[in-house]
Amino acid sequence: MTARPAPAAMLALLLTALTPLAALADAAAGAQVAQRWCANCHVIDGAGPSASVPQGPPSFHVIAGHLDADQMRAFLANPHGAMPNLALSRAEIADLIDYIQSLR
């Protein structure tokens, strides 16, 4: 006869394995990513280079109001438009999204 793991232990293990990366995101770390990679073009906290350019890249407040987390993740994970290829890690993307969402 083989021993079977307790159902509660199996459920806990499964839930731990399925915890989405977004739940582990850190808005403070995302703010640092934004300062390092985004502040040269985007308004990230009410001030920045595109504040004086009417057709410049959208501010993070605008992005927060128009895109959900999945849309931001898809946008940041793939090269696009005039944006540089940032090659952010999944954790950096999750942190940046968490920061942007905190601006809502």
CATH number at residue 42: 1.10.760.10
pLDDT of 81-94, one tens digit each?
A: 778 888 899 999 99
Residue 15 in domain? no
Confidence check: pLDDT of 21 > 50: no
Residue 86 in domain? yes
| Number of domains the chain is built from | 1
* Residue 70 lies in domain: 21-102
Q: What is the mean pLDDT of residues 30-54?
A: 81
Residue 9 in domain? no
Q: Determine the 3-state secondary structure of 67 from DSSP.
A: coil
Residue 14 in domain? no
Number of other residues whose CB lies within 10 A of the CB of residue 48: 20
Residue 39 in domain? yes
Amino acid identity at 91: A
- Lowest-pLDDT range, 3-7, 22-26, 43-47? 3-7
